[in-house]
Amino acid sequence: MNTLDLRRHILRQQAFRDTVQRSHPMGAARIVRRERFAWPGAYPLALILSDGEVLCPACVASEWAQISNANRHQLRDGWRPVGIEICEAPETDVICAHCGHVIAEGTETSAPETITQRRYL
């Protein structure tokens, strides 16, 4: 990895942390659409919507206009982003509500400390 790639990688990490810390819903949606995996650990990311459902990165990209419109106008139609889900050893399968894709497979014997992390904004 050359120095330019390393700088880009570090900037992406900082952008991810800043977005989650600043509580910006569309920033969270951009992270899920662009990055697809959390770093470090390469855990799959999913977007949490206002109705409690989750979307996979591919559906976030394909339904970007709907998500953006719901956020811009503060609609209560279930498309407004509210957080990021980092799928780290979830107890049950994390399934995309739009396409049915299994984002992360659940484990049968997971410890309570390794439950899926949800970060609401």
Can you give the pTM of this predicted structure?
Answer: 0.71
pLDDT value at residue 25:
81
CA–CA distances in Å: residue 60 to residues 3, 10, 30, 67: 31, 24, 9, 8
Torsion of CA 54, 73, 25, 67, to 10 degrees: 40
> By C-alpha distance, which of 13, 26, 28, 6 is closest to 119?
28
What pLDDT is recorded for position 8?
A: 65
Length of the chain: 121
53-71 residue pLDDT tens: 999 999 999 999 999 999 9
Digit-coded pLDDT (tens) for 21-46 = 456 788 888 888 888 888 777 889 99
* Cβ proximity of 94 and 70 under 8 Å: no
